[in-house]
Chains A and B, each alone.
Chain A
């Protein structure tokens, strides 16, 4: 096994890890702000992929061009979902909350299957295709572009949270709902915002994935399990934690697969999940409760 092979595999791991990070950031944000685990999060990703697909199929617009539109649509969808459904279960017992988001997951999958058929769809001849040759190794161009896109979107979210007034209000609500309300922050508005941003992040990940990953109603299932591992590893509610944990999981999955055999790659990731739960339940960057 050459150093070149290891380096190339490492790079592939980082690239897919950036996508994991983007999916996980949305999930961790919703949890951080309102303590609800969103089981329908993978379906936001699926809707982002279909949004890219239909804009491509109907208007021949590339997923990269329509990325902002997809992000906006998913943002609106997230806010709407909060207003119509989630708002009603804020103070409900945790079990009801789990059933609600789980039910939404089944509903969205079912609807996607009903309206768009269970077939695999793909976007052909996107502006990004082929591979990038760097010195002695090559990487898929769609993956490189998706990785860069994930960094851009993550940076934007980070900037919003830490450098804008609205973002600070969101952070404040996350750390103490009651105190934030006393300071005049409308918590319903903040919750809606968290759902909007959460859905938009997953939608962005879906749009970036759509240039190289097949699109089908159950595609969210492929990513959501990993997203939970990432959120757990990074610390529930920590955006920065999710970012670094995403990259870490991507690298561990790919390198573990290469070194120990691909049949073990998910086992390695899930063992990590168990280890974190046992030895550092608050995650790498989460606060101990």
Chain B
């Protein structure tokens, strides 16, 4: 080791120390609570990457105070989530909180934030109950499950208009867990509100060994559209449809088993034309160049594309940073006021949303999901029509009309 090298090292360290000192005074500390260990660790890591990426974009070329993210791990545990929120607020002195992915952890962590009067921005949890609490410091950018379910009906309305057809009858098929039951109930409501006739509601026990009677019941009811909410039985149901020669004009699935990587892989050609709801897809970038641009940067750094999770996390921090900018202060109350006044147009987002604007419950009212259709072995966005990468095929070709 020669002298000049040593000198550089010392000088460098000194410079670092100086900038660190300066930064400590000009930092906007934001606490982030994610599942960084445990079964959801990989999702947590993905969302952490997205936030660090977003923070770097915000900080690049920024003259004022820089954003500093302080991460905490909730391990998927609501109690840990609450105590970490407490720690971030009292010991790390964060001015706002983000997280927590799991709806049940978001619930407890945001309670702490509400009590301590610190804004909590939730970018990924979709349980409708979170915004039914009328918290003053809770803001959610992502659409909730109820809205995702409603999208299928908006889509059917749009199809009726564009194709000059009348869909009329629908049926629901749902597993009898919380997920399926809630979806079926919402579907019943939306169908009644939007003038669709629910000809059959079929609920089946999750972990069933066969779906014969379910499919025969649907066959007899003969709805134009089947709305399905299944986890593990998605593949089994498709196989049973084919074996029993059943297919409605369209099958619109509620994510879960139909958006699993195994679904297309296992069913191959038989998965074609099925529609499922999604949060986000890369192919909407064809119509929205900003998505491609941001994704290219993200991919250059992390070697993977955005997903529904990371895109939502990224957007969450962008919304929070926008509010902090407008607040011109690190005072939590000022940030909260700025969040309430948020009005971001669709063009500034990498999401398929109409924008970001919060209502009095803290829910972003301009959020929306997308619908994807399996085409040539891939999920392609078919709705909303202005973001579609492919025209929707409607109705699905019957089994015997397929090659």
Q: Which residues of A contact B (CB under 8 A)?
A: 1, 5, 8-9, 12-13, 16, 19-20, 119-122, 124-125, 130-131, 138-143, 212-214, 216, 221-223, 226, 253-258, 261-263, 265-266
Output the nearest chain A residue to B207 by Cβ-Cβ distance: A222
Q: A residues within 8 A CB of B207?
A: 221-222
B202 within 8 A of A: yes
Given A16-B209, A223-B209, A262-B203, are A140 and B239 also a contact pair (CB < 8 Å)?
yes
| Interface contact A222-B212, CB-CB below 8 Å | no
Which of B49-57, B260-268, B314-322 lies at the interface?
B260-268
Output the nearest chain A residue to B174 by Cβ-Cβ distance: A263
| Interface contact A138-B266, CB-CB below 8 Å | no
A–B Cβ pairs within 8 angstroms, 12 of them: A8-B244, A9-B212, A12-B244, A122-B262, A213-B209, A223-B209, A226-B209, A254-B213, A256-B213, A258-B216, A262-B202, A262-B214
Which of B202, B214, B236 contacts A214, CB < 8 Å?
B236
Output the nearest chain B residue to A260 by Cβ-Cβ distance: B213
Output the nearest chain B residue to A9 by Cβ-Cβ distance: B216
Q: What CA separation (Å) do A191 and B204 show in the bound complex?
A: 39
Q: A residues within 8 A CB of B239?
A: 140, 212
Which of B202, B213, B243, B268 contacts A138, CB < 8 Å?
B243
Q: Which residues of B contact A (CB under 8 A)?
A: 176, 202-205, 207-214, 216-217, 219-220, 232, 235-236, 239-240, 242-245, 260, 262, 265-266, 268
Q: What CA separation (Å) do A64 and B15 show in the bound complex?
A: 71
| Interface contact B220-A1, CB-CB below 8 Å | yes
Given A120-B232, A214-B236, A262-B203, are A5 and B220 also a contact pair (CB < 8 Å)?
yes
Q: B residues within 8 A CB of A138?
A: 243-245
Q: B residues within 8 A CB of A142?
A: 243
User: How far does the Cβ of B200 sit from chain A's closest Cβ, in whole Å?
Assistant: 10
| Interface contact A263-B202, CB-CB below 8 Å | yes
Which of A20, A124, A212, A261 contacts B217, CB < 8 Å?
A261
User: How far does the Cβ of A264 sit from chain B's closest Cβ, in whole Å?
Assistant: 9
Which of B205, B209, B211, B265 contacts A263, CB < 8 Å?
B205
Q: What CA separation (Å) do A5 and B222 show in the bound complex?
A: 14
| Interface contact A13-B212, CB-CB below 8 Å | yes
The main secondary structure of chain B at its interface with chain A is helix
Given A119-B262, A263-B202, are A131 and B210 also a contact pair (CB < 8 Å)?
no
Closest CB pairs A-B (n = 8): A257-B213, A140-B243, A12-B212, A258-B213, A122-B266, A263-B203, A262-B214, A131-B243
Q: What CA separation (Å) do A9 and B219 show in the bound complex?
A: 12
Q: B residues within 8 A CB of A19?
A: 209
| Interface contact B209-A222, CB-CB below 8 Å | yes
Q: B residues within 8 A CB of A256?
A: 213
Q: A residues within 8 A CB of B244?
A: 8, 12, 131, 138, 140
User: How far does the Cβ of B396 sit from chain A's closest Cβ, in whole Å?
Assistant: 18
Q: Considering residues B203, B216, B217, B262, which has the most beta carbons from chain A within 10 angstroms of its beta carbon?
A: B216
Q: A residues within 8 A CB of B262?
A: 119-122
Q: Considering residues B212, B217, B235, which has the most beta carbons from chain A within 10 angstroms of its beta carbon?
A: B212
Output the nearest chain B residue to A223 by Cβ-Cβ distance: B209
| Interface contact A9-B232, CB-CB below 8 Å | no
Given A124-B268, A262-B202, are A254 and B236 also a contact pair (CB < 8 Å)?
no
| Interface contact B216-A222, CB-CB below 8 Å | no
Q: What CA separation (Å) do A143 and B236 show in the bound complex?
A: 12
Given A222-B208, A262-B213, A266-B205, are A131 and B235 also a contact pair (CB < 8 Å)?
no
| Interface contact B212-A16, CB-CB below 8 Å | yes
Q: A residues within 8 A CB of B202?
A: 261-263
| Interface contact B209-A214, CB-CB below 8 Å | no
User: How far does the Cβ of A270 sit from chain B's closest Cβ, in whole Å?
Assistant: 11
User: How far does the Cβ of B258 sit from chain A's closest Cβ, in whole Å?
Assistant: 13
| Interface contact A5-B216, CB-CB below 8 Å | yes
Output the nearest chain A residue to B245 by Cβ-Cβ distance: A138
Given A120-B232, A139-B243, A143-B243, are A254 and B210 also a contact pair (CB < 8 Å)?
yes
Q: A residues within 8 A CB of B216?
A: 5, 8-9, 258
Output the nearest chain B residue to A5 by Cβ-Cβ distance: B216
Output the nearest chain A residue to B240 by Cβ-Cβ distance: A140
User: How far does the Cβ of B216 sit from chain A's closest Cβ, in whole Å?
Assistant: 5
Q: A residues within 8 A CB of B205?
A: 263, 265-266
Q: B residues within 8 A CB of A16?
A: 209-210, 212
| Interface contact A254-B235, CB-CB below 8 Å | no
Given A16-B210, A131-B242, A212-B239, are A262 and B260 also a contact pair (CB < 8 Å)?
no
Output the nearest chain A residue to B260 by Cβ-Cβ distance: A120
| Interface contact B235-A120, CB-CB below 8 Å | yes
Q: Considering residues B209, B219, B235, which has the most beta carbons from chain A within 10 angstroms of its beta carbon?
A: B209
Output the nearest chain B residue to A121 by Cβ-Cβ distance: B262
Q: B residues within 8 A CB of A130?
A: 242-243
Q: What CA separation (Å) do A130 and B240 show in the bound complex?
A: 10
Q: What CA separation (Å) do A257 and B204 show in the bound complex?
A: 9
| Interface contact B232-A12, CB-CB below 8 Å | no
Output the nearest chain A residue to B173 by Cβ-Cβ distance: A262
Which of B208, B212, B217, B235 contacts A122, CB < 8 Å?
B235
Q: B residues within 8 A CB of A263?
A: 176, 202-205
Q: B residues within 8 A CB of A257?
A: 212-214, 217
Q: What CA separation (Å) do A140 and B238 show in the bound complex?
A: 12
Q: A residues within 8 A CB of B176?
A: 263
| Interface contact B236-A213, CB-CB below 8 Å | yes
Q: What CA separation (Å) do A214 and B236 show in the bound complex?
A: 7
User: How far does the Cβ of A141 sit from chain B's closest Cβ, in whole Å?
Assistant: 8
User: How far does the Cβ of A194 sit from chain B's closest Cβ, in whole Å?
Assistant: 25
Q: B residues within 8 A CB of A258?
A: 212-213, 216-217
